Structure 1
Amino acid sequence: MNTYDYIIAGSGCAGLSLLYCILKEPKLQNASILLIDKDSKKNNDRTWCFWEKEAGVFEEIVHAKWNTLEFLSTNYEEKLDLGAYTYKMIQGIDFYNFVFNYAKKFSNVTFLQETVVEIKSSKNNASVITDKNTYTGKTVFNSTPIFNPDITQQNSLLQHFKGWVIKTEQPFFDKKIGRLMDFRLSQENGATFMYVLPTSSTEALVEYTLFSRKVLPKEKYTLELEKYIKEELELENYTITHKEFGVIPMSLAKFEKQPLENVINLGTSGGFTKASSGYTFQFIQKNVAAIVQHLKSGKKPYVKPTFKDKVYNWYDQTLIDVILSEKLTGKAIFTTMFKKIPAEKILAFLGNQSTFLEEISIMKSLPLIPFLSSGIKQLFSKN
């Protein structure tokens, strides 16, 4: 039985980002690589949005971008200048096709469509057991949920959303301005807002999003989208060209970065979903770049969290605890932040790129007692 240099279990954003970055590195691109996933990744099943200052690794497949975003809440509306940042969108199918088309140039890369059921480890390698076979690699990179902690209503919020891409016959949208958050909705089910991201004058992604302990009945998302498009966008005639639904954990639970010897968790499974916002794409890219740098330098691929990483994790856990314990609503927290703090500084903070002084200014903008009590609680938590 052959032993691969690297096995990548899961071909989502994290697995494919790692594959692409390995193949772009001359010192690593000849390694034998096995990619396993139960899905063929031929559907446009999701959309990733993120922000960055420069052109990123996947800049050529960015579907749309904005330098101005709107924030709306009760009695408060603002067009946000993002400063040095650009807010970007990548469609899932564009990402999958881009990476797979590039990887097909390499005969040392093998793709298998099988279901991963177990991952084991020994001293010198690790094994991936699927519904059809067993495969051995010197290192296994896992983005399947095999090692995920228990996600419960006590330790987690869920970010759940349904999005429609809608198209009009006549120009309707201003493609230069995206709507980041519109909190002018009922908050009865938790922190609830709409995204509206125009990709042209006739097309936009409209997404109904909640941070809450549990998902809603399927028809509720549809009703809210229809209502918002009719009443807030004041749009009657449109065609739905794409639908997507997703659930992202925003959790206090501990996601292991190295669950076993020679096994590294990636993406959400590795704790790279930002607990306070649900954003994942840019954190995956940072983590993948660090892993590839380790591999290039002959080091083990485990990237140890820095002190600053731990501080940001504490910030995230504090915010989640404040919302879970209902000390403040998500609407109140984000509205207060965007009222008092420039958007560029908030994006730096949410992207783990802020300075200590910026972090202090954000803390000072929020009510002290709820965050102090939750912060102390999380500081001594075992999560």
Structure 2
Amino acid sequence: MSLLMRMFVDPFFASKKILVVDADAKQQNDRTWCFWETKPDLFEPIVYHQWNKLDFYSDHYSSELSINPYTYKMIKGIDFYNYVKTSVSVSPNIEWRNTTVKRLIDHRFEIEASNELAGVELADGETIFAEYVFSSILFEPIKTKPSEYHFLQHFKGWEIKTAVDCFDSSRAVFMDFRVGQEAGTTFMYVLPTSSNTALVEYTLFTEELIEDEAYNIALEKYISETLQITEYEILHEEKGVIPMTTKPFPNAKGRHIFIGIAGGQAKASSGYAFKYIQKRTAGIVAAMKQGKHLAYGKGFQHAKGQLYDSVLLNVLHNRKMGGDAIFADIFKGMKASKVLAFLDNESNLWTDLKIMNTVPTRIFLPAALHELKQLM
């Protein structure tokens, strides 16, 4: 939907026929996106809340994070869906179908002399061809090689309303690792949107999921013991799983262009995806207007980001150091704004080296050498 919105607001696409196929009617508030940016972007009108002050907590190090020039922002899923659907509804060149895509059609083998088209087959058997097909669908479960890592960012969050004022809506808890780390890298974040409402989310980076009741127990304990809130109601609940994997995803196959998680836009070391999707979709629009190929080259910045991701997942997979201690060392040793740039793959090499210097060389150097060897 990010790509659709970017096409809608650009006059270049006003004469293009655009078909959106989605099995989900997008009528539920099924997720919340949080991200940081230095200036407003396309979806600024639906930012539900934003913070300039963030807190970091762990048993190793705790501090307020200095994030200037960044602002930390929240967008609710239902606001995003409604905003895009309402906006594009006035456009006669955009059609929306609520159905399932059964498969992508490989035009090179199935349609003679049609190398300028891409196709999809819908659930009812109808086939549709277009100049481009943009797909965010993972048709099969992710399968990794022995040299690749596959973690999951999984979470459950409660939007709560308290009986009395408990929150400072001008500051959010970015990460609170003062919870059990038995399952792996585990933290809470708290996003107050008023003095008595906040999203409290329990998040894990692990290779296996946990029982559903474990999320509830952790949330209840954190709210009562850490936040010291006893009277509250749950306004909304959300739960999700995002892949964190070093498995390479194709960004294009002919005129099938892959976007979202299917295009590898979820960062392997964190699961963050929203900002990466915005970068990719903005890049697609720019390339189409310039007549360039839509398969982007994986340059130095991308390659070093992938290497850093694999090194971190190596350390976590082999349990050489806990994620709570790693993030504590990084935020203790570096200005938070530099760390946020690093997590966005936008830091320079000098900053990268300084961040590397914040974590134990005896642990991370062997992991880095191992991952470099895998690339050779």
Same fold per TM (> 0.5)?
yes
* Offset of residue 147 of structure 1: 6.3
Distance 1:147 1:297, change over 3 A: farther
Match of 1:225 in 2: 219
Task: Work out whether residues 149 and 255 of structure 1, in 8 Å CA contact, stay in contact via their aligned partners in 2.
Answer: no
Give the partner amino acid of 1:166. Answer: I
Work out whether 1:164 is the aligned partner of 2:136: no
- Give how far 1:301 is off: 1.9
Matched, 1:39 2:32: no
Which one-letter code corresponds to 1:88 in the other structure? Answer: K
Among the aligned pairs, what percent are the same residue?
Answer: 42
Q: Distance in 1 between matches of 2:106 and 2:145?
A: 28
CA distance in 2, matches of 1:363, 1:320: 15
Bigger mean CA deviation after superposition, 39-48 or 113-122 = 113-122
Structure 2 match to 1:271? 264
Whether contact under 8 Å (2:246, 2:306) holds in the other structure is no
- Distance, in Å, in 1 between the alignment partners of 2:4 and 2:213 is 38
Tell me the equivalent position of 1:257.
251
Paired with 1:240 and 1:30, the residues of 2 have a C-alpha distance of 46
Of 172, 178, 190, the residue aligned with 1:178 is: 172
**Residue number in structure 2 paired with 1:71:** 56
Tell me if the contact between 1:71 and 1:182 (Cα under 8 Å) persists in the aligned partners: yes
State the distance in 1 between where 2:11 and 2:213 align. 50
Query: Aligned partner of 1:264: which letter?
Result: I
User: Which residue number corresponds to residue 143 of structure 1?
Assistant: 136
- Give 3-state SS (helix, strand or coil) of 1:360's partner: helix
Would the alpha carbon gap of residues 152 and 113 (structure 1) be closer, same or farther in structure 2, given more than 3 Å must change?
A: farther
1:128 to 120, 128, 132: 120
Match of 1:305 in 2: 298
Please give the residue correspondences for 1:337-352 in structure 2 after superposition, counting only pairs within 5 Å.
Answer: 337-352=330-345
Equivalent residue for 2:100?
A: 115
Deviation at 1:380, TM superposition (A): 3.3
CA distance in structure 2 between the partners assigned to 1:204 and 1:233 by the alignment: 11
- The one-letter code of the counterpart of 2:19 is L
What is the identity, as a one-letter code, of the residue corresponding to 2:100? T
Q: Please say if residues 147 and 256 of structure 1, whose CA atoms lie closer than 8 Å, have aligned partners that are also in contact.
A: no
Distance 1:73 1:233, change over 3 A: same
Q: Give the alignment partner of residue 56 of structure 1, picking from 41, 58, 69.
A: 41
1:103 lines up with 2:96 in the alignment: no
**2:110 paired residue number:** none
**Inter-partner Cα distance in structure 2 for 1:20 and 1:379:** 39
The two structures have a TM-score, normalised by structure 1, of: 0.93
8 A contact 1:158–1:250 mirrored in 2: yes
- TM-score, reference length from structure 2: 0.94
d(CA) in 1 for partners of 2:14 and 2:33? 26
Name 1:85's counterpart in structure 2: 70
SS at match of 1:372: helix
> Structure 1: which amino acid aligns with 2:123?
D
Instruction: Check conservation: 2:60, 2:325, Cα contact below 8 A.
Output: no
Whether contact under 8 Å (1:63, 1:91) holds in the other structure is yes
Q: Compute the displacement of 1:149 (Å).
A: 3.7
Q: Distance in 2 between matches of 1:87 and 1:152?
A: 36
| Superposed displacement of residue 270, structure 1 | 0.7
| Amino acid of the structure 1 residue aligned with 2:154 | H
Structure 1: which amino acid aligns with 2:290? S
**Aligned-pair CA distance for 1:168:** 1.6
CA–CA distance in structure 2, aligned partners of residues 250 and 328 of structure 1 = 18
Mapped partners of 1:88, 1:29: distance in 2: 30
Match of 1:11 in 2: none
Q: Cα offset for 1:169?
A: 3.2
The aligned runs of 1:282-297 (5 Å cut-off) are 282-297=275-290
1:280-307 Cα distance to aligned partner (Å, 9 max, x none): 1111111111110000112222222222
* Offset at residue 138 of structure 1 (A): 1.3
Deviations 1:195-221 (A, max 9, x none): 101011111000001111111111110
Q: 2:236 maps to what in 1?
A: 242
Are 1:319 and 2:304 counterparts? no
TM-superposed CA distance for 1:311, in Å, is: 1.1
Is 1:330 the counterpart of 2:334 in the alignment?
Answer: no
Which moved further from structure 2: 201-210 or 168-177? Answer: 168-177
- Secondary structure class of the residue paired with 2:139: helix
Secondary structure of 2:153's counterpart equals: strand
Q: Which runs of 5+ in 2 are unaligned?
A: 108-114
Give the AA of the match of 2:64.
K
1:381 Cα shift? 2.4
Partner Cα separation in structure 2 for residue 147 and residue 26 of structure 1: 36
Equivalent AA in structure 2 for residue 247 of structure 1: V
More deviation in 321-330 or 218-227?
Answer: 321-330
Residue aligned with 2:12, SS: coil
Q: Residue 19 of structure 1: CA displacement?
A: 0.5
TM-fit CA distance, 1:190: 0.5
